[in-house]
Amino acid sequence: MKRVLCLVAIVLTIGLTSCGGEGDPTTTLNVTLTDFQFTPNRFTVPAGEEITLNVNNTGAVVHNFIIMKLGTTAGATYEDEDEANVYWGEKDIQPGGDFSVTFTAPMEPGEYEVICRTEGHIASGMVGKLVVVAGE
């Protein structure tokens, strides 16, 4: 019985966490690029706001931070035709690269795919989510 209660508590906690959102929306994103991950790999931003992206590539190879348009995906491999579905991207971030860029968050709330276009990196797990939430 105790075990069941515990499980219920865990489920409730998870439920509340996902309900309370994805974490509060923020206009400053700090992301570390490694071989082959975005850390963190989930970002929540307010729609239409200017977002500052602080990028740090601590990996050994070139990485990218590319946001795909809503409802699109680069699939398992980023190909030339995926270019048309890019919402915004910071491309060819060199190893050791550590800088800030800004972009405007999409107006439409939803979950946007974030990927690294370097060959093989999506398949290796270099995928993230940009969650856009409606402003107040």
Q: Which residues contact Cu ion by CB under 5 A?
A: 63, 116, 118, 121, 126
Q: Which is nearer to Cu ion, 50 or 119 (CB)?
A: 119
Q: Which amino acid is at 123?
A: A
Q: Which is nearer to Cu ion, 53 or 126 (CB)?
A: 126
Q: Which is nearer to Cu ion, 47 or 61 (CB)?
A: 61
Q: Which amino acid is at 76?
A: A
CB of 118 to Cu ion, least distance (A): 4
Beta strand 110-115 with 63-68 is antiparallel
CB of 39 to Cu ion, least distance (A): 12
Q: Which of 60, 37, 54 is nearest to 98 (CA)?
A: 54
CB of 119 to Cu ion, least distance (A): 9
CA distance 106 to 3: 44
